Structure 1
Amino acid sequence: MLPVSRVKTGLILALVAATSLSSINAASAENLFQRLFGNNRGGTVVNQGPHATPRRAQPMQQQGIPQQAQPVQPVSVVKPTKPAPIIKVSSPSYYTYKTAALVPVDFSKLQPTGSVEITGSIEPSEPGTPFDRSLSGLIDYQLTAEKEIAAAIEKHYASQPGFIWVLGSAPRVRAEAAMAMLQDAGSYGLDPQDYQVARPQVTASGQQALSDPALIRYEMTMSARVLRYIRDAHAGRINPNLLSGYHDFAAKPVDYEAALNAMASGVDIKTYLEGQHPQNAEYAALRTELKSLEAEREHTIIVDPKLLLKPGETSAELPKLLTLIDQKGDAAFKAAHGATISANAGGELYTPELVAVVKAAQQAHGLKPDGVVGGRTVAAIAGVSKADRIEKLEVALEQLRWHPSDLGSTHVFLNAAAFTATYRENGTDKLSMRTVVGSPTHQTSFFYDELEQVDYNPYWGVPRSIIVNEMLPRLINDPGYLDRAGYEVSDASGKRIPSSTINWAANGSNIPYNVRQTPSEANALGELKILFPNKHAIYMHDTPQKAFFSRDARALSHGCVRLSDPRAMAAAVLGTDVAHVAAKLKQGHSTEKVTRKIPVYVAYFTAWPNQAGEVHYSPDVYDRDAKVLAALRKTSDSRAPSI
């Protein structure tokens, strides 16, 4: 019997002869090979990108392709074309942070107007008022501030010349209250150095003292620094959108002139400044945690955060880890495992008995109980160092200032750093579940929006980045792949086009077609998706890849948020029950509008409190905290010369 390879070779040569070898170019030869042996090369469909599940292609007979060779039709000559270059679609990038520019306050606009200050109010009077006489102290004074703040100071004192912070020869009571708030900025995760104001040295009294240059300079500096504090408390010290393309937050402008008017009118300064900070329970809990950490001592037991220990191995870190497990275990845990820990005290060998202890501790901390000690296990059991926790809290407080002050009593909160999704209704957490979020190379963005609708048995519109980066290389050699794999292709007008008829190499990265996967069990989005349309094309959805939810680290998608219990989330936001969702799914593809205004926060917090106010810490899987901290330090450095 001849070898199979020789039989195939002979068959090919015979057919080539029958169709005139001289008329077959490289593309035709490829087409001929496919006619003989089918398009299925090995039967495996490649992973389709952010939401897809690898699956087996259908057997050829199910595709309507006989397994035996078909008569070969004459092959036409195709003129070779030069493929267009393929430039991969890149993910958003991180930027070199640029701080807000500081400008000199232009005091030349302040001219004597003949106003006089009487018991805190500004009333017309004769020229030569104490404020007028003090203006000479600003002739050589250099004060810089953020552009909007400088403009507000110039406009306010030009139209309303008079002291806000000075009375007689000394600071007012309201100035003392403001100074106390500025000095306590650290308790909010702000840097007190950003708001420093030198107290005037008052040695004279009466009218002569009011002419002291120190008093007018103190007045202007106080206004500049209090306005900066208001700006930072209201909107944050840094502009998040200058950090990266992943950050997308609406501007939070401040009416600085209205603020100066309010403070001049005699409002309670402490209450007024406290009210500039976010007014939500999470911000208060994070601040309480920060103050508590500042008051406590550092942990005495620190375990290497990069420890990797498997059963049967040894490590000097093991005794420290076991001590912490014993310290943090409740009565039931100690009753079950205390004796084992005591019997192995000081030992560095990770024995089977200790593996059982670690598995129990992992389970108690919500981790996968696999007995392997890695970074997440160390972080959960040993905790994060005090210094690291303080930094996480400072970042979290800053990030909350980018958000609305009131998050809403009913909302959905997706914390990518913690891999969790929570639905809160009327101030109570009704639902919480595990999520899969974007991988470090395909990060989930950081923004907030509003829920709009639920799609049942959805289509998946394949993003251009996935078509270009992951599908296109295969389509160039196998243009009919999409037809076989359950995808639809259409042009810009919406006309359906068979994938097999397209020259996918002709346009390079500028693909003029839309690709979508039809509803099915293999659909990358599973059985439903929950939309809040945004420019990042991010939404919540089901997934066929259920096994991912059993992992502790779940940064695995291309950016969208996969839910472990999508039916429950859909029912919650629609204000219905799971039975309703199940009934809709049986009816095929359809959509249902979310009729209530429900904000959704696609967030990233490595420190975040639960509803009881207990702060939980997560690893910085995207390394974003470090970038925020660097921007905060850069901001403080840029402000230092202005003090």
Structure 2
Amino acid sequence: MLALMSGISVCSLAVPSANALTLMDMLRGNRPSIQEQVEGRTGAAAVSPAEQRAIDRSDPEPLPKVSGPKYYTYKTDGMRAVKTAGFAAASATGDMRFLLDAKVSAPSDIATAVEAYYRAAATPLWVEQGDVNERARAVLAAFEKAGDYGLDPADYRISVPALTTASVTDPAAPAAEAAAVQPDTVSTAPATAPAAAATTAAPADQQQKDLMQFELALSAKALMFAQDMVRGRIDPNRISGFHDLKRKDVNLTAILPGVAAAPDAAAYLDGFAPQSPQFLALKTELARLRAEAVATEAPVSLPENLLLKPGQTSEDLAKVVSVIEKRGSDQLKTEHAATLAAYQDTPTYAPELVELVKGFQQELGLKADGVIGPATVRAMTGHTAESKIDKLVVAMEQVRWLPDNLGDRYVFINQPAFQVYYHEHGQEQFSMRVVVGSRSNQTYFFQDQIETVEVNPYWGVPQSIIINEMLPKLRKDPSYLDRLGYQVEVAGRAVPSTAVDWYSSTQSVSVRQPPSSDNALGELKILFPNSHAIYMHDTPQKAFFKRDMRALSHGCVRLAEPRKMAAAVLGVSEAEVGKRIAEGKNAALPVTAKIPVYVAYFTAWPNKDGHVEFFDDVYGRDEAVDKAFAATSKARGA
């Protein structure tokens, strides 16, 4: 943070121009090091032991390494028993007294809220006249529809007492007149007694005990359902060190009283679902895919090495067209209806088919060049209906980690899409390509607020790059940072690179590159100070933006059009930004408006038209979320 405040950048390494002797040349060994150039020197000049060791033999000391964040084995919320000793039922003389015998486990915060409610409640919430009431039936039915909201209905199923009408009113009545009350909507849930028991009246006390067990269990599940609707099933910060999102607070103590007062308890609980346009678009797409019942469709088979350019021929072209017919949007298929209707499975990649493919590529966020190569093939074979459904469920979970209202003006970076989107007046104004961290240098998932645009920036080299990438060269040639124009400081004091003992700790050593045409950050950077030292910036390595897969940086976000983004957040023209850059001076320009930035990770996300697009899971984070889902459901006893 101090480095960011002082104007020292600490992220993202770019490749400078090919005409200069650069740091990357030295790191990659493309040019001889200074030490290599002078190996043949003679004379009486004194050589230190460290220099002699670097010249005569390889470094015998193991090089240190700085490791990045890790993915964790997900730890679920701890469960504990609900304590019934302080319930109002303790002084009751009727059937409510059996609530004290109920045994229910729940996450600690939910258990606490249940205890708070029943310390005051003298009457049941879910049971009336010795039977499960209509409120309970409606909520149980709502639980079975939890999948519509990206949740798992199994997480909320509970045992429903296998009661008979006779057993409640007249234990001696004929069993044939009895009718089980377990609702059809939860028929998959285990019963507390075998189905045959429905024809035999249980003792009245046992039935009331079963009802009170149901009472307490349903209250705990109702709280869990509402909480999951608001903030999701899992804590993102337990997935990996790359996740940094404050988990939302839910006022659990207000929910059961709200259920009791609501004319429609199921609608009340449904009302906790996010209402953002993004969540609703994902929810609608999930319902559409499930309604079409295509989750079991056979995967498409296309050669991984398929490369088909306009005018060429391929027997696989018919499969390509078939994929587009199945997976393209309705809008795309309408625009190219004539082409699709006229196509006769011919192998020639004709111009009208090229336009069809370009439209499909654009929908997928790929380079719309009409060339069917590895990226297009991966998109066609990887995004089956089943995989799309999984992506949607993960995305609906992750939406809950963000504010329900992203804001009227904000910047949204979606890493799997390799895109950044600028919103103002509630609408997307523009988007552009970005380069994000490589798999070994992943960009984090967090939110912050933009504070500064710095023109002609310094690049502060992070310790991870100093240690992992520079140190091997520095031990062989302590002087090359000086020759390349990098500035070195030890404990805040400027020193020559040759004055540093590169065999000792580098924690007090800082290295930065002054503003220049070769600077790794290019013309500007856009800061939103955070503990991960991540920001948006320019880069001299423009060729990376032509690639479809752009997970290539050391973690920061490189912008294809940095002046455009800087002008937008500053509220000025691009010409004004260019003028400040042309002055050639390092300057920090404050962003006075409150503009949140979401450095996000969604493999399913709606575009500005509300159409959901799907992307590859470049970091494997969806898989990590799925594992956390499984662990959570297991802990809940689903």
Does TM-score exceed 0.5, indicating one fold?
yes
Q: Which moved more, 1:192-201 or 1:257-266?
A: 257-266
User: Contact between 1:95 and 1:243, CA under 8 Å: does it hold in 2?
Assistant: yes
Q: Distance in 2 between matches of 1:112 and 1:397?
A: 40
User: Contact between 1:137 and 1:214, CA under 8 Å: does it hold in 2?
Assistant: no
Shift of 1:179: 2.3
Q: Distance in 2 between matches of 1:336 and 1:214?
A: 64
Match 2:80 to one of 99, 103, 106: 103
Q: Distance in 1 between matches of 2:249 and 2:425?
A: 28
User: Contact between 1:310 and 1:371, CA under 8 Å: does it hold in 2?
Assistant: no
1:235 maps to 2:231? yes
User: Contact between 1:358 and 1:371, CA under 8 Å: does it hold in 2?
Assistant: yes
1:615–1:484 CA distance, 2 compared to 1 (3 A): same
Q: Distance in 2 between matches of 1:68 and 1:301?
A: 64
2:275 alignment counterpart: 279
2:455 alignment counterpart: 456
For residue 186 of structure 1, what is the amino acid of its counterpart? G
Match 1:544 to one of 540, 543, 546: 540
Q: Deviations over 1:617-638 (max 9, x none)?
A: 0011111111111211221122
2:253 alignment counterpart: 257
Q: Give the TM-score, by structure 2 length.
A: 0.80
1:9 alignment counterpart: none
1:72–1:100 CA distance, 2 compared to 1 (3 A): same
Match 1:512 to one of 490, 508, 511: 508
1:561–1:144 CA distance, 2 compared to 1 (3 A): same
2:440 alignment counterpart: 441
Q: Distance in 2 between matches of 1:87 and 1:264?
A: 61
Q: Give the TM-score, by structure 1 length.
A: 0.79
For residue 502 of structure 1, what is the amino acid of its counterpart? V
Q: For 1:212, what is the secondary structure of its paired residue?
A: helix
1:76 alignment counterpart: 46
Q: Deviations over 1:93-140 (max 9, x none)?
A: 1111122222222223335465xxxxxxxxxxxx53x4xx3323542x
Q: Distance in 1 between matches of 2:272 and 2:130?
A: 30
1:160–1:337 CA distance, 2 compared to 1 (3 A): closer
For residue 236 of structure 2, what is the amino acid of its counterpart? P
1:112–1:388 CA distance, 2 compared to 1 (3 A): closer
2:177 alignment counterpart: none
Q: For 1:581, what is the secondary structure of its paired residue?
A: helix
Q: Which moved more, 1:234-243 or 1:379-388?
A: 379-388
1:376–1:138 CA distance, 2 compared to 1 (3 A): farther
Q: Which moved more, 1:189-198 or 1:522-531?
A: 189-198
Shift of 1:331: 7.5
1:575 maps to 2:536? no
Match 2:620 to one of 620, 623, 632: 623
Q: Distance in 2 between matches of 1:324 and 1:70?
A: 64
Match 1:496 to one of 484, 488, 494: 494
Q: Which moved more, 1:573-582 or 1:76-85?
A: 76-85
User: Contact between 1:97 and 1:242, CA under 8 Å: does it hold in 2?
Assistant: yes
User: Contact between 1:194 and 1:636, CA under 8 Å: does it hold in 2?
Assistant: yes
Shift of 1:263: 2.5
Q: For 1:285, what is the secondary structure of its paired residue?
A: helix
1:157 maps to 2:156? no
User: Contact between 1:606 and 1:619, CA under 8 Å: does it hold in 2?
Assistant: yes
1:430 alignment counterpart: 429
Q: For 1:233, what is the secondary structure of its paired residue?
A: helix
Match 2:67 to one of 71, 90, 98: 90
User: Contact between 1:541 and 1:563, CA under 8 Å: does it hold in 2?
Assistant: yes
User: Contact between 1:437 and 1:562, CA under 8 Å: does it hold in 2?
Assistant: yes
Q: Distance in 2 between matches of 1:331 and 1:147?
A: 53
User: Contact between 2:103 and 2:213, CA under 8 Å: does it hold in 1?
Assistant: no
1:179 maps to 2:140? yes
Q: Distance in 2 between matches of 1:428 and 1:369?
A: 24
1:13 alignment counterpart: none
1:373 alignment counterpart: 372
Equivalent residue runs for 1:513-532 within 5 Å? 513-532=509-528
User: Contact between 1:278 and 1:406, CA under 8 Å: does it hold in 2?
Assistant: no
Q: Distance in 2 between matches of 1:337 and 1:237?
A: 43
Equivalent residue runs for 1:587-606 within 5 Å? 587=583, 588-606=585-603
Q: For 2:420, what is the secondary structure of its paired residue?
A: strand
1:629–1:58 CA distance, 2 compared to 1 (3 A): closer
Superposition RMSD in Å: 3.3
User: Contact between 1:93 and 1:246, CA under 8 Å: does it hold in 2?
Assistant: yes
- Listed as ranges, the gaps of 5+ residues in structure 1 are 1-47, 60-66, 115-126
Q: Distance in 2 between matches of 1:71 and 1:320?
A: 66
Equivalent residue runs for 1:287-436 within 5 Å? 287-298=283-294, 302-304=299-301, 307-311=304-308, 317-324=316-323, 342=344, 345=345, 347=347, 353=349, 357-358=353-354, 361-362=357-358, 365-366=361-362, 367-368=366-367, 373-380=372-379, 384-436=383-435
User: Contact between 1:282 and 1:609, CA under 8 Å: does it hold in 2?
Assistant: yes
- Listed as ranges, the gaps of 5+ residues in structure 2 are 1-10, 23-36, 54-58, 171-203
1:77–1:520 CA distance, 2 compared to 1 (3 A): closer
Q: Deviations over 1:405-441 (max 9, x none)?
A: 2211221110000001001112100111111111111
Q: Distance in 1 between matches of 2:69 and 2:351?
A: 42
Q: Distance in 2 between matches of 1:305 and 1:597?
A: 48
For residue 134 of structure 1, what is the amino acid of its counterpart? M
For residue 164 of structure 1, what is the amino acid of its counterpart? L
Q: Deviations over 1:456-492 (max 9, x none)?
A: 1111111110111111111111212112223111122
Q: Deviations over 1:6-27 (max 9, x none)?
A: xxxxxxxxxxxxxxxxxxxxxx
1:364–1:637 CA distance, 2 compared to 1 (3 A): closer
For residue 159 of structure 1, what is the amino acid of its counterpart? A
User: Contact between 2:308 and 2:314, CA under 8 Å: does it hold in 1?
Assistant: no
Q: Which moved more, 1:50-59 or 1:417-426?
A: 50-59
Aligned residue pairs, count = 561
1:267–1:411 CA distance, 2 compared to 1 (3 A): farther
1:74–1:337 CA distance, 2 compared to 1 (3 A): farther
Q: For 1:109, what is the secondary structure of its paired residue?
A: coil
1:637 maps to 2:625? no
1:221 alignment counterpart: 217
User: Contact between 1:278 and 1:405, CA under 8 Å: does it hold in 2?
Assistant: yes
Q: For 1:226, what is the secondary structure of its paired residue?
A: helix
Q: Which moved more, 1:323-332 or 1:168-177?
A: 323-332
Q: For 2:605, what is the secondary structure of its paired residue?
A: strand
For residue 636 of structure 1, what is the amino acid of its counterpart? S
User: Contact between 1:241 and 1:249, CA under 8 Å: does it hold in 2?
Assistant: yes
Q: For 2:422, what is the secondary structure of its paired residue?
A: strand
User: Contact between 1:452 and 1:594, CA under 8 Å: does it hold in 2?
Assistant: yes
Q: Which moved more, 1:523-532 or 1:314-323?
A: 314-323
For residue 75 of structure 1, what is the amino acid of its counterpart? A
User: Contact between 1:169 and 1:210, CA under 8 Å: does it hold in 2?
Assistant: no
Q: Deviations over 1:557-609 (max 9, x none)?
A: 11111111111111111222212211221232111111122111111101000
Q: Distance in 2 between matches of 1:602 and 1:296?
A: 33
Q: Distance in 1 between matches of 2:16 and 2:504?
A: 28
Q: Distance in 2 between matches of 1:330 and 1:188?
A: 28
Higher relative contact order (CA 8 A, sep 6+): 2
For residue 45 of structure 2, what is the amino acid of its counterpart? V
User: Contact between 2:96 and 2:124, CA under 8 Å: does it hold in 1?
Assistant: no
For residue 579 of structure 1, what is the amino acid of its counterpart? A
Q: Distance in 2 between matches of 1:488 and 1:109?
A: 67
Q: Deviations over 1:298-321 (max 9, x none)?
A: 286853366221359997644211
Q: Distance in 1 between matches of 2:335 and 2:127?
A: 63
Q: Deviations over 1:516-573 (max 9, x none)?
A: 1111111111101111111111111111111111111111111111111111111111
1:148 alignment counterpart: 109
Q: Distance in 2 between matches of 1:291 and 1:72?
A: 79
Q: Deviations over 1:212-238 (max 9, x none)?
A: 223222211111000111121111111
Q: Distance in 1 between matches of 2:437 and 2:38?
A: 45
1:118 alignment counterpart: none
1:62 alignment counterpart: none
1:627–1:301 CA distance, 2 compared to 1 (3 A): closer
For residue 549 of structure 1, what is the amino acid of its counterpart? F
